[in-house]
């Protein structure tokens, strides 16, 4: 019997393809098994189940008056969580349209999005397929951190391993949480820049309002920030932020969250900020809160809490109305003293010391030393690293900004150095600290309470 070469070749080809298909699946299974179990220490540790069920995110501790008015906060990351039912639908729509339109349909990995990456690469375009759940995994568990690195986690291979770990962690998150819990957790933990962590603080920082009151054009600014919190910061880079906001608005129109007419109208509107970066020293009774902090740190040390991470809620005996009256009285007199201070130091800088000859001279590099403590400097340091020339150039670049005066805010053109020098000319005062009692309770899922 004569064999058919074409038939034999086809049969051999089919067998070969099936062989490589099965080998491919076995190799893929082995890779994911190795990643999940850190075989031979090659891939680095994965988050354990307890970490997934109890993710740790720093929460700001809040200090209230006896009549429940917020005095201020203690925090490393300024974050206040809000439940899913309180999240703005506008924010959630904007997030999904921009970052993960198939969020409701996938189980942590957007297979369709991943499959489309080669097509976009062939066309010379970059296309991401990272889901909201994957980004949450990255934010919560620092999957790229060296403490999760293994023997193979080096160079470009590290990037691949990190991405695969995010896939595994994302599927575990999807198994442990509902979609509502995942999107709430994401919006509560993500960094929006300007020391604003979570959507609640971001809305207050950039627009001075609750996240429920944001409009689509405002939500687009905040969600646009997630791509690059420095480059698209509307305060630091308004032109880039405007372009990015409009790109997000186009995504909203693409997926029918807004109409074409609305898109055209919103793209023409400027970004209307009400920008204020909250810090530990803002609010009333700052000296009182500083002394309270010392007391609380001792208490936290004894009880095993972290004042800057555990979301304590502290009630004090201060009356908000009486405190306001007292601070207004101080401000009234300080305004006159400031006028005399400006007159005395006119044409000179007040940061002086007495030299060996008994004469006063300016402290050397005073502004350079103090500007390194600023948030702007830290942002630039993260961007430029050890490139001091570019950092210095950015700090000396003049920008439009509002500054405090005793007659109200005024618009001016200042660099970061100008702003620092301006505020270093202002007098400050401390407030009388008196004995007080505190009631403290810790915001945790089990609703445990502690008091003193």
Residue 212 sits in a domain of what CATH number?
A: 1.10.3810.10
327-378 confidence digits (pLDDT tens): 888 888 888 888 888 888 888 888 888 888 878 888 889 999 999 988 889 8
- pTM beyond 0.75, yes or no: no
Provide the 8-state DSSP code for 144.
Answer: T
Using the 3D structure, point to which of 208, 236, 267 is the last residue of a domain.
267
Using the 3D structure, point to which of 267, 300, 317 is the last residue of a domain.
267
- Low-confidence residues of the chain: pLDDT under 70: 1-11, 13-15, 17-57, 114-129, 141-159, 161, 279-283, 430-452
Q: Do both 263 and 298 map to the same domain?
A: no
Measured distance CA(391)–CA(383) in Å, rounded: 9
Q: Is residue 44 part of a domain?
A: no
Helices H, strands E: what count in the chain?
A: 18, 8
206-251 confidence digits (pLDDT tens): 999 999 999 999 999 999 999 989 899 999 899 999 999 999 999 9
Query: Who contacts 257 (Cβ-Cβ below 8 Å, separation ≥6)?
Result: 93, 94, 97, 216
Q: Do both 232 and 346 map to the same domain?
A: no
Using the 3D structure, point to which of 234, 267, 300 is the last residue of a domain.
267
Q: Is residue 71 part of a domain?
A: no
Q: Do both 239 and 290 map to the same domain?
A: no
Q: Do both 339 and 378 map to the same domain?
A: yes
pLDDT at position 205: 93
Cβ atoms of residues 203 and 211 within 8 Å: yes
Identify the three-state secondary structure at position 13. helix
Measured distance CA(32)–CA(38) in Å, rounded: 10
Q: Is residue 42 part of a domain?
A: no
Q: Is residue 203 part of a domain?
A: yes
In order of 105, 210, 385, 403, the CA distances from 380 in angstroms are 39, 29, 8, 21
Q: Do both 291 and 180 map to the same domain?
A: no
Q: Do both 200 and 299 map to the same domain?
A: no
Query: Who contacts 47 (Cβ-Cβ below 8 Å, separation ≥6)?
Result: 140, 141, 169, 172
Q: Is residue 89 part of a domain?
A: yes
Q: Is residue 416 part of a domain?
A: yes
pLDDT at position 156: 60
Q: Do both 253 and 291 map to the same domain?
A: no
Q: Do both 88 and 237 map to the same domain?
A: yes
Q: How many domains does the chain have?
A: 3
Identify the three-state secondary structure at position 287. helix
Q: Is residue 101 part of a domain?
A: yes
Q: Do both 111 and 14 map to the same domain?
A: no
Strands 312-315 and 61-64: parallel
Using alpha carbons, select from 146, 138, 144, 141 the residue that is nearest to residue 161. Answer: 144
Identify the three-state secondary structure at position 201. helix
Q: Is residue 53 part of a domain?
A: no
In order of 141, 219, 234, 421, the CA distances from 190 in angstroms are 12, 14, 17, 33
Determine the structural domain holding residue 158 and report its residue range.
81-267
Percent helix, strand, coil in the chain, to 5, is 50, 10, 40
pLDDT at position 383: 86
Cβ atoms of residues 324 and 284 within 8 Å: yes
Q: Do both 213 and 102 map to the same domain?
A: yes
Q: Do both 134 and 230 map to the same domain?
A: yes
Identify the three-state secondary structure at position 315. strand
pLDDT at position 270: 94
Q: Do both 110 and 243 map to the same domain?
A: yes
């Amino acid at each position: 019997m004569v064999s058919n070469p074409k038939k034999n070749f086809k049969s051999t080809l089919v067998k070969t393809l099936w062989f490589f298909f099965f080998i491919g699946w076995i190799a893929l299974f082995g890779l994911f098994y190795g990643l999940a179990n850190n075989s031979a220490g090659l891939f680095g540790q994965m988050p354990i189940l307890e970490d997934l069920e109890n993710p740790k995110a720093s929460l700001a501790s809040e200090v209230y008056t006896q009549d429940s008015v917020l005095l201020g906060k203690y925090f490393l990351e300024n974050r206040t969580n809000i439940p899913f039912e309180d999240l703005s639908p506008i924010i959630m729509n904007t997030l999904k349209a921009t970052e993960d339109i198939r969020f409701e349909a996938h189980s942590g990995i957007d297979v369709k999005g991943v499959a489309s990456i080669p097509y976009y690469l062939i066309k010379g375009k970059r296309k991401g397929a990272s889901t909201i759940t994957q980004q949450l995994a990255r934010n919560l568990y620092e999957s790229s951190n060296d403490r999760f690195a293994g023997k193979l986690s080096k160079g470009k291979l590290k990037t691949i391993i990190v991405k695969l770990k995010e896939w595994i962690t994302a599927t575990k998150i999807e198994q442990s949480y509902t979609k509502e819990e995942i999107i709430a957790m994401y919006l509560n933990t993500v960094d929006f820049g300007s020391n604003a962590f979570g959507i609640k603080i971001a809305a207050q920082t950039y627009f001075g309002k609750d996240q429920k009151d944001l409009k689509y054009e405002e939500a687009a600014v905040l969600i646009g920030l997630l791509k690059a919190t420095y480059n698209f910061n509307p305060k630091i880079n308004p032109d880039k932020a405007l372009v990015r906001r409009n790109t997000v608005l186009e995504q909203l129109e693409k997926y029918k969250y807004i109409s074409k007419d609305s898109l055209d109208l919103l793209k023409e509107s400027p970004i209307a900020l009400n920008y204020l970066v909250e810090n530990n020293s803002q609010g009333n009774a700052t000296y009182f809160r500083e002394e309270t902090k010392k007391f609380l740190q001792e208490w936290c040390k004894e009880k095993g809490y972290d004042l800057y991470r555990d979301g304590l809620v502290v009630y004090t005996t201060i009356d908000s109305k009486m405190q306001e009256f007292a601070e207004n009285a101080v401000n009234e007199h300080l305004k006159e003293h400031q006028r005399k201070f400006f007159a005395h130091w006119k044409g000179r800088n007040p940061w002086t010391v007495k030299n060996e000859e008994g004469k006063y001279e300016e402290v050397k590099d005073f502004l350079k030393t103090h500007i390194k403590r600023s948030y702007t400097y830290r942002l630039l340091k993260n961007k430029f690293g050890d490139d001091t020339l570019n950092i210095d150039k950015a700090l000396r670049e003049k920008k439009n900004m509002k500054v405090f005066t005793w007659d109200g805010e005024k618009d001016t053109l200042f660099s970061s150095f100008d702003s620092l020098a301006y505020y270093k000319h202002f007098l400050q005062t401390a407030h009388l600290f008196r004995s007080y009692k505190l009631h403290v309770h810790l915001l945790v899922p089990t609703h445990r309470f502690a008091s003193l």
